[in-house]
Structure 1
Amino acid sequence: MRTLIYALALMGGLLLTSCGSAREVLYMQDLTQVDQDSMTVIELAQRAPALRVAPDDRISIVVSSKDPELATQFNLPVVTNRVGMESGFGSTNPSVSTYVVAPDGTIDFPVLGRIKVAGKDRHGIATDIKQRIIAGGLLKDPVVTVEMTNLYVSILGEVQRPGRYAFDRDKMTILDAFSLAGDLTIYGRRDRILLLRQEGDQQVAYRLDLRSASNLMASPAYYLKAGDVIYVDPNNYRARQATVNGNNVLSTSFWISLASLATSVALLIIRR
């Protein structure tokens, strides 16, 4: 009888630990007291940083004008074999090719020659090219549009759709990233979000807590940068499901077998 009690207690404990507390699942719990007609203000630690170009980045540059024929000389076709340029794979604008930024931070721009773009944001690059064109008397009214074509983040761990996701705007937040990945699973730890970021020659790690809006939005990792890697830790229940030999989750048949074993043990004890 004592063995039966131990077995039932063990099964009950496993059943209880399989249910996550609402306190561990709800997002931004410090905002739950905000009424429908009221408002709260959360200060951000910093403004959304402007995304800046780095060596090996891919960018597209389009020059337009009231005279399309004159502007054509500054634009690249889709198919090109020029060194330092690639076709528009992954580009948001398939009508132009993309430049690959050289290790020295420059690109070979038509007519204007080598231009340094590393360290500049899109607005800075567009302004520089526009001023060069006007100063050279090449166009009177150029409009320069610059886009980065290799912006992506990798999302791993306990999310619905892990993978690598592209984005095309500066103010991309970690919440936007989770929406792309279908949100966290019920097994993901909201208080243990890991973000890895390359900053210069260093790999920097940030920990985020989605349960606290003030903690989340005050973090430098709230706004994403290209190349960020996001990992969602599994909760204890999910971690216990992992087998010794790999990442295979224990199936329902395992739990059925365990229940069957407990029943057999109970029957043997009763028959005694």
Structure 2
Amino acid sequence: MTIKRNIILPIVLIAIVVMFGSCSSTKNVAYFQNSDTVSLEQSKGLYDARIMPKDLLTITVSTLDDAAAAPFNLTVPTTYSEATNSVTSQPKLQSYLVDNNGDIVFPKVGRVHLGGLTKSEAEKVIEDKIKPYMSETENPIVTVRMSNYKFAVMGEVARAGVYTAANEKTSILEALAQAGDLTIYGVRDNVKLIREDATGQKTIHVLNLNDARLINSPYYYLQQNDIVYVEPNKVKAQNSNIGSMTTLWFSATSILISLTSLLYNILN
């Protein structure tokens, strides 16, 4: 009887340790665990993306007289589609690439500095630049859109890839949602955000999805060309190192269970 207890007791203890270990690990899965204790006053205010070098802008000028706006709405007559292997004659508005100094070259007015400005600020600058080329009765409306506002999500997510933000405003949660959310192996309290500023300086910021204070973070909203990386937890890292030894471990575990069962039946 004593021998039987000496065999069964360690097995029971191991099972208890595994059970409690699993329960404790689930505490790191839920987002915003302290949301009931966090003040969101700092999150007030609407986010506006700022124009940066290498941004591709689409600029539309609207006036009562179409002829007055025509010189500023340049079009590209033909475009080639690699997806359909065809050429279309549908006109497309000319896009403007922001250079490393934050400038574009706009029709008639020449070089215009837009780097660091929000869309509404850029629209006002362009509006002031083109007014001298129109009659005093014209009140032009300028619309600026970012054509290449994209970000990348990689690591332990369901669908890693490069995504485009249609409205130039994407939070870290929306970015992860587009990528299918984190897998169960993703580390939620150590998500890396790699960002490049207007001077080309790269920085890495750590985001904790478990902490509701993330909403107050200056990195809650992504900038164009941000990279989000979700690292794997220890379980996934260990599993990736097993490789060809997986079958051997499973076989050894199966043999150990069989021997334990056999000894239990013999001593019972």
Q: Say yes or no: TM over 0.5.
A: yes
Once residues 98 and 244 of structure 1 are traced to their aligned partners in structure 2, the CA distance between those partners, rounded to angstroms, is 50
Which one has the largest radius of gyration?
2
Q: Is the 8 A contact 2:54 2:97 kept in 1?
A: yes
- Aligned partner of 1:144 in structure 2 is 142
Which residue of the partner structure matches residue 90 of structure 1? Answer: none
Q: 1:221 aligns with which of 214, 219, 222?
A: 219
Match of 1:260 in 2: 254
2:28: which partner in 1?
24
Q: Which residue of 1 aligns with 2:108?
A: 111
Deviates more, 1:160-169 or 1:2-11: 2-11
Q: Which residue of structure 2 lines up, in the alignment, with residue 101 of structure 1?
A: 98
Post-superposition offset of 1:203: 2.0
8 Å CA contact 1:61, 1:144 repeated in 2: yes
Residue of structure 2 aligned with 1:176, choices 164, 174, 178: 174
Q: Distance in 2 between matches of 1:25 and 1:242?
A: 21
Write out aligned runs for 1:64-213 (5 A).
Answer: 64-79=62-77, 95-137=92-134, 140-199=138-197, 200-213=199-212
* Bigger helix fraction: 2
Identity within the alignment, %: 33
Distance 1:233 1:9, change over 3 A: farther
Aligned to 1:232: 230
TM-score by length of 1: 0.75
CA–CA separation in structure 1 for the residues paired with 2:201 and 2:133: 41
Cα separation, partners in 2 of 1:49 and 1:191, compared to 1, 3 Å: same
Amino acid at match of 2:236: R
- Check the 8 A contact 2:109/2:129 in 1, yes or no: yes
Deviation at 1:265, TM superposition (A): 5.6
- Count of aligned pairs between the two proteins: 251
The 1:31–1:175 alpha-carbon spacing in structure 2 relative to 1, beyond 3 Å, is same
| RMSD of Structure 2 on Structure 1 (CA) | 3.6
- Higher mean displacement: 1-10 or 42-51: 1-10
The Cα of 1:167 is off from its aligned counterpart by: 0.8
Amino acid at match of 2:30: L
- Please give the alpha-carbon distance, in whole angstroms, between the structure 2 residues aligned to 1:132 and 1:44: 36
Secondary structure class of the residue paired with 2:127: helix
Structure 1 spans left out of the alignment, 5+ residues: 34-39, 82-86, 88-93
| Aligned match of 2:85 | none
